[in-house]
Structure 1
């Protein structure tokens, strides 16, 4: 089944959906599709139904009675039925779909059925997952048809809980597909940005969400680095454009988040550079123990990533996973009243430049460097086969300080299978700074500290990432393969 020509990437997701929808077994099957909003889930599922003749229903926030009327009307249009479908409850609606699947099976094969925005239906009808469990159970194999039921939703915490613990649908799904945001390389291609530095700047603001490049900006792409600031003013700091309030809406769309002021406060603390629970608590003037639930919920909803420290298993750092949320809390929220009045965006953007560089682009560049080390760096670059990539801190008792590492690569020696995991490489990332031998000396000092505790660290490679380049002396030192320089070309192309 050919992927639609206007669908960018998503080869893996499309192949998995096609495999699920065309499975020829006689039994009904269940799939769950989730992912943040604006990633193209609806586009994928609608295209699948169009190509297979399946039934697609997009729920709205409505009462049970209204949802059933909408479902019946959509089913009538799909089936081209002369008489409207009218259902008193969801049990009737599910039975009708199963019967239609049975009628169709002999001539056309399995029937794909998509219930998009499934959390809206469950909010009004909490018993729906249990009804689906029964419909997909052993009795359905005798009385029903081969339905390929796909439940889709953007509330990650809700969708994640559908199949866990004692949930009714646990153990029923044969597909659990998460549609991710485009990574930084794919996002550059999607936005069609030949200039790599401009690509990093755009990615630091909007990330890899496809809808932001089309519907939300009407295809407005910055032409060059000089147009980047005006582009931000036109599309992100403009109160008439949807990106202006997007970060607020993303948080409000999570059904389990009720005290939005507290959650916005947590996100602001992280955006300001407070990445530990203690730092966040200090910023909010709360006890650290009070933040356990909010941080867990933000992590479950995909809004925040928690990363264990490379060298301190009990210590974790928190980072905002959605770039537009970081940009909002670092740049927009402190000046929200000014931005709501048209004509002030130029001044706000000019004043925010130091903050944008240090709180938005800098941390985002470090994230891109870790992504590169995880997915694109060759084993010869890292000195082995990587197992995990993280960041970390290394204490320096002599200097009475601690050193932060932006990239720490753990892995194994591919030439010696069975050897224990070790630190393959450590790295420093600077977005707007030309790196020189002083940066190399700092990494070498950290390697010495690590070697004092583990002799295998003597072979640790040193990675230096820069968006501004490297001094001639450092380039000469990089003749040693243990020293790797990664510029924007290497970050995007190799």
Structure 2
């Protein structure tokens, strides 16, 4: 049995490809089911098409607002093409018969002596008019487990972008609960992969594009303008794409599209209002309720639903468990609310460059800055030397109280392992996307934060102190870091993997 090689055109996704390959090549002789989900534009279809091709399987995508009879006939045509038979032989078959036939064919005719994947993409479109489909897959699965039926050793993967529908497939008493061998949620590209995908060599330009659009690879095809080669070109690129109402990448059109892609939220003014409130800085249920003039208790369920569907992120400060942090998951929605909406008159009258000029302070402070902090945390989780995290199981942000100064200080990046209320903190970092290089005053602030955490009873004896900067570091700070040996200086090229891990001479690890 040959191995399944990931093609070069599929950037990153090594872990996802390996999980799919393991799923298909598993020795179980019975039918196996898998679920793949993720927001629009993250590359689910691209990945699954490539995987289906590699396994010699069958890929079919449901179509929005397609009636049940045309949907069945289109599936029948794909099955006939795969089997090399006339389409009339299966044209009027039932859903059960079509699914059974597709599973049987792909189980027997996959590449390299293994089953081929039978992929149903955008399954929620079919469920809208044929809600029995998950139940039919359950029936075929149960029959196969009992040694009955024709499904045999088939491998079925269902996929969708409507997260509320996909989340419910495996929940509660739903038909497929307990039957799926994989439940994979595909995430956007990280900063480094996004830069490679767009062909951007300049780290600052790559960070700007990533801050506006996030890492969803599907946006590359929607852009009619060449990617910015330098950070100085970012404004012209934004004016020609996300700030141009005539373009498909216009933030208003895309935000509307994303917010309406899930049938559970279509037309819900309250859900849209919550997302807009969070995009404008309401990070807790109390703050959201204040902006919307709604009691906090009335917002709990809609906020939870938006989190479950992937529109919002809900994190809890590990050092202050009663401090929720709610943020918008899609960067382009954040950009739309903070940049496009306040400049709507200029944008709609063709003055996009002026709109960008006026918005640059807001973009730097409320879009680029928070996004750079997020990239710093992502780098520590996935790309940095694991020794920097030590035994920490969590990388996040937090706040610490200064009891003497009666103030709260935010910490952008912290790695910790919490046990019985006391945390062992192995990493304390600040991320600054400002126009100035960082100096020793920033290191003094980190020392103060470390001391405050210790005053609260947390173990900081082996904490690494780190400064992340978009503009680099002053010589006095570099010299201080070299002398101390417990300080990391991380610049943009390092975040993009263009330079070696920034362990200064003398650094001994956490």
Is this a same-fold pair by TM over 0.5? yes
Equivalent pair of 1:24/1:109 in contact (CA under 8 Å): no
Note if 1:354 corresponds to 2:361: yes
State the shift of 1:287 in Å.
Answer: 1.9
Equivalent of 1:157 in 164, 181, 189: 164
Alignment of 1:6-405 (within 5 A): 6-23=9-26, 25-61=28-64, 62-82=66-86, 83-87=88-92, 89-98=94-103, 100=105, 110-138=115-143, 141-144=147-150, 145-213=152-220, 215-218=221-224, 220-244=226-250, 245-341=253-349, 343-382=350-389, 384-405=390-411
Deviation at 1:389, TM superposition (A): 1.0
Q: Deviation per CA, 1:165-188, whole angstroms, max 9, x where unpaired?
A: 221101111222222211112112
- Paired with 2:412 and 2:336, the residues of 1 have a C-alpha distance of 23
Deviation, 1:46, is 2.0
**CA 1:111–1:424 in structure 2 vs 1: closer, same or farther (change >3 Å)?**
closer
Shift of 1:428: 1.8
**CA distance in structure 2 between the aligned counterparts of 1:111 and 1:458, rounded to whole angstroms:** 53
**Pairwise CA distance, 1:106:** 13
Deviation at 1:260, TM superposition (A): 4.1
The question of whether the paired residues in 1 share the 8 Å contact of 2:31 and 2:144 is answered with no
8 Å contact kept, 2:42–2:188: yes
The 10-residue stretch of structure 1 (23-32 or 399-408) with the greater mean CA deviation from structure 2: 23-32
Residue correspondences, number: 486
Cα distance in structure 1, aligned partners of 2:348 and 2:178: 48
How many Å separate the matches in 2 of 1:456 and 1:115?
50
Q: Distance in 2 between matches of 1:480 and 1:300?
A: 45
Distance (whole Å) between structure 2 residues aligned to residue 378 and residue 17 of structure 1: 27
Give the match for residue 490 of structure 2: 486
Secondary structure of the residue aligned to 2:222 is coil
CA contact (8 A) 1:24 1:110 kept: no
Aligned twin of 2:505: none
SS in 2 for 1:7: coil
Query: Contact 1:272/1:330 (CA < 8 Å) preserved in 2?
Result: yes
Instruction: Using the TM superposition, give the Cα deviation of residue 388 of structure 1 relative to its aligned residue in structure 2, in angstroms.
Output: 0.5
How far did residue 422 of structure 1 move?
Answer: 0.6
Q: Which runs of no fewer than 5 residues in structure 1 stay unpaired?
A: 414-419
Give 1:259 deviation, angstroms.
Answer: 4.3
Residues 143 and 228 of structure 1: CA distance in aligned 2, closer, same or farther (over 3 Å): same
What is the alpha-carbon root mean square deviation over aligned residues? 2.7
Q: Residues 67 and 220 from structure 1, CA distance in 2 versus in 1: closer, same or farther, beyond 3 angstroms?
A: same
